Amino acid sequence: MKVLWLQAAGCGGCTQSLLGAENRAGVLAQFADAGLELLLHPALSEASGDEALALLRAAASGDLPFDILCIEGALLRGPNGSGRFQMLSGSGRPLIDWVRELAAQARTVIAIGSCSAFGGIISSGENLTDACGLQFDGDQAGGLLGPDFRAAAGLPVINVAGCPVHPGWVVDTLLALALGAFSESDLDPWQRPRSYTEQLVHHGCPRNEYYEFKASAQKLSDLGCLMENMGCKGTQANADCNLRPWNGVGSCVRGGFPCISCTEPGFEEPGHPFMATPKIAGIPIGLPIDMPKAWFVALAALSKSATPRRVRENSRSDHPVILPGTRKSGPK
Which residues sit opposite 187 in a β-bridge?
193
Between CA 178 and CA 1 the distance in angstroms is: 7
8 Å CB contact between 132 and 81: no
What are the respective helix, strand and coil percentages of the chain, to the nearest 5? 30, 15, 55
List the binding residues for [4Fe-4S] cluster.
Answer: 11, 14, 115, 163, 202, 205, 225, 232
Amino acid at 258: P
Q: Whose CA is closest to 289, among 202, 169, 195?
A: 202
Q: Whose CA is closest to 265, among 93, 74, 81, 85?
A: 74
Q: Whose CA is closest to 5, among 148, 100, 110?
A: 110
List the binding residues for [3Fe-4S] cluster.
Answer: 241, 259, 262
The answer, yes or no, to whether the previous bond of 324 is cis (omega within 30 of 0) is: no
- State the distance between the two ends of the chain, measured CA to CA, in whole angstroms: 59
Half-sphere exposure of 330 (CA within 13 A, CB side): 2
279 sits in which H/E element: strand 279-280
List the binding residues.
Answer: 11, 14, 115, 163, 202, 205, 225, 232, 241, 259, 262
Strand bridging mode 87-88 / 75-76: unpaired
